[in-house]
Amino acid sequence: MAHKFDPKNKKKLQSKDRRQNLPPDRVLAKIGLQPGQNFIDIGCGVGYFSLPASKILGPKGRVYALDTSEEMTEFLKSELKALSIENVQVANSTEYGFPLKDAAGEMLLMSMVLHEVEDKRRFLQEARRTLKSGGKIIIIEWVKKETEQGPPLIHRLDPQETKDYLIDAGFKTPAVINIDEVAKTFYLITAEA
């Protein structure tokens, strides 16, 4: 059975250490998020990437923030209301069903999510369905070595495993993107739908 993040630990998702080790603004700039795009955040949690993405996208762009945890989505909805952010649409999803139309976005991010899923091929195929042709998927995962934080080693995926899952699900040209700040703890892979 896959290792799942406990929503009761949601404060960890906004910690100072996490912001230092995985700065969301730098990651979003590195992946090329542009104003006016539609951005899908799978496993959005507390909005760690959704909130800064909403600023980059501006009023003509949209963030689709999805999570299987109602506790997480309710928390994010209250944050959006408090911050008067209107270009983020929050919804609960099932593990293999995202409440989005086909080709809903140009870019899809899943950060620390893939290792939690049992049927990775099915999950990634559903992600591909929601991307426009030529759209980009971005996967951030824990390195496959012991670290102070993160899931047990047995649940982690090495970059080649992640690339293989992407290819099996129909994605093209998966590549590891070097982000110096995260190289010791995380890796980032992009691929084209």
170 in a structural domain: yes
**pLDDT (tens digit, 9 = 90+) per residue, 100-132?**
999 999 999 999 999 999 999 999 999 999 999
Task: Identify the band that residue 1 occupies on the pLDDT scale cut at 50, 70 and 90.
Answer: low
Q: Which domain holds residue 172?
A: 23-192
* pLDDT in the model for residue 110: 97
Q: Is the pLDDT of residue 92 over 60?
A: yes
Q: Is the pLDDT of residue 15 over 70?
A: no
Number of domains observed in the structure of the chain: 1
CA–CA separation, 43 and 73 (whole Å): 10
Q: Is the pLDDT of residue 183 over 60?
A: no
43 in a structural domain: yes
**pLDDT (tens digit, 9 = 90+) per residue, 52-73?**
999 999 999 999 999 999 999 9
| Strand residues in 25-181 grouped as ranges (E) | 38-42, 62-67, 88-92, 105-111, 131-142, 172-177
8 in a structural domain: no
* pLDDT in the model for residue 6: 54
Which H/E stretch holds residue 192?
strand 186-192
Q: Is the pLDDT of residue 8 over 80?
A: no
Closest CA to 181 of 67, 20, 10: 20
11 in a structural domain: no
CA–CA separation, 4 and 7 (whole Å): 9
60 in a structural domain: yes
174 in a structural domain: yes
CA–CA separation, 110 and 30 (whole Å): 15
CA–CA separation, 4 and 160 (whole Å): 22
- Give the distance from CA 181 to its chain's centroid: 17
Contacts of 48 (CB under 8 A, 6+ apart): 13, 14, 18, 24, 111
**pLDDT (tens digit, 9 = 90+) per residue, 22-62?**
889 999 999 999 999 999 999 999 999 999 999 999 999 99
172 in a structural domain: yes
pTM over 0.85: yes
107 in a structural domain: yes
Q: In what order do the strands lie in the sheet with 62-67?
A: 88-92, 62-67, 38-42, 105-111, 131-142, 186-192, 172-177
Residue 63 sits in a domain whose CATH number is 3.40.50.150
Cβ of 19: how many Cβ atoms within 10 Å? 12
**pLDDT (tens digit, 9 = 90+) per residue, 137-164?**
999 999 898 888 888 899 999 999 999 9
